Amino acid sequence: MKNKFSTIAIITFSSIVTIWSCSKHPVMPSHSSLYLNIKYLIDDALLELDTIKYTNEAGNTYSVSKLEYFISNISLKKSDGTVYKSKKIQYVNAAKEKSNQIFLDSISPGTYTELSFIIGLSAEQNVSNSLPSIPENNNMYWPDHMGGGYHFMKFEGHFNDTTATPGYAIHLGKTAYAVKIKIAKQIKLTLRNQKQTLSMNLNEWFKNPNVFDLTGGNNYTMSNDSLMNVISKNGVDVFTLPDK
């Protein structure tokens, strides 16, 4: 009777050990992750595609029909100089919500004081056929006959001219015109996933430091270095990190 009891006890104990050993252990995260959700504004109003109702600094009334670009070289900096760098190159399309969510993981927890990234690609990245061959990347290619690499941005729409509504196509490419964004902001990252809105004010492309007037033949920038230069400089402050 005693032996029988012992046997049952041992088997029960062994079974518990077995079940415990095969179960998945909850893994405690040791790193932070950050979701950047991109929103588009025209000053205080949320962007509505394909409606001619926005007014820029030059007084042009315009619409937005297409806004595609790359975000790359994302980094977060702590006040002690520690830097988190992401290798992610994200194709973003204002019309496709999913592409506007940038997920950054394996970030060391702590308080960061600066977010920086490039609208476009670095010199090493801006090489023809170097990005994964998917339709989105392929449709952004910058012809080899014009220097190769990729479009950094395609920003298109229509505007009211004196007698008509011609189109505009603000295309940015060539490594020199990559837009370097640097935003000072305290971002506290704990071991939980954190969300942060990243807002682009499209009217900022048209001002500061230079007023960009779509009329007068400025409505097409590709292969026009001086226009791309203006857009690149204006683009430095298109993004902000709002509190909410």
Q: Is the Cβ of residue 68 or residue 204 nearer to another protein in the bound state? A: 68
Task: Single out the segment in contact with another protein by CB under 8 A; choices: 107-115, 128-136, 174-182, 197-205.
Answer: 128-136
Instruction: Give the torsion through C-alpha atoms of 62, 68, 73, 74, to 10 deg.
Output: 70
CB 22, min distance to another protein, A: 5
Beta bridge partners of residue 156, listed in sequence order: 66, 169
Residues 47-76 that bind another protein (CB under 8 A): 50, 65-66
227 neighbors 173 (Cβ within 8 angstroms): no
Give the Cα separation of 204 and 13 in Å (integer). Answer: 69
Beta strands 83-85; 66-78: pairing state: antiparallel
Residue 141 found at the interface with another protein (CB under 8 A):
yes
Q: Closest separation between CB of residue 132 and another protein, Å?
A: 7
Longest Cα–Cα distance of the chain, Å, equals: 104
Give the one residue of 26, 81, 135, 209 binding another protein; rule: CB under 8 A.
Answer: 135
Residue among 116 and 130 whose Cβ is closer to another protein: 130
Tokens 């007068």 belong to 216
Amino acid letter, residue 45? A
The answer to whether the Cα torsion of 150, 153, 157, 163 is positive or negative is: negative
Q: Binding to another protein by residue 225, rule CB under 8 A?
A: no
Residue whose CB is less far from another protein, 170 or 178: 170
Pairing, β 32-42 against β 193-201 = parallel
Q: Rounded to an integer, what distance in angstroms lies between the CA atom of residue 89 and that of residue 131?
A: 9
Q: Does 138 bind another protein (CB under 8 A)?
A: yes
Query: Which of 45, 96, 113, 143 touches another protein (CB under 8 A)?
Result: 143
Given the rule CB under 8 A, which residues bind another protein?
A: 2-3, 6-7, 10-11, 14-15, 17-19, 21-22, 50, 65-66, 129, 132-135, 137-139, 141, 143-146, 156-158, 164-169, 217-220, 222-223
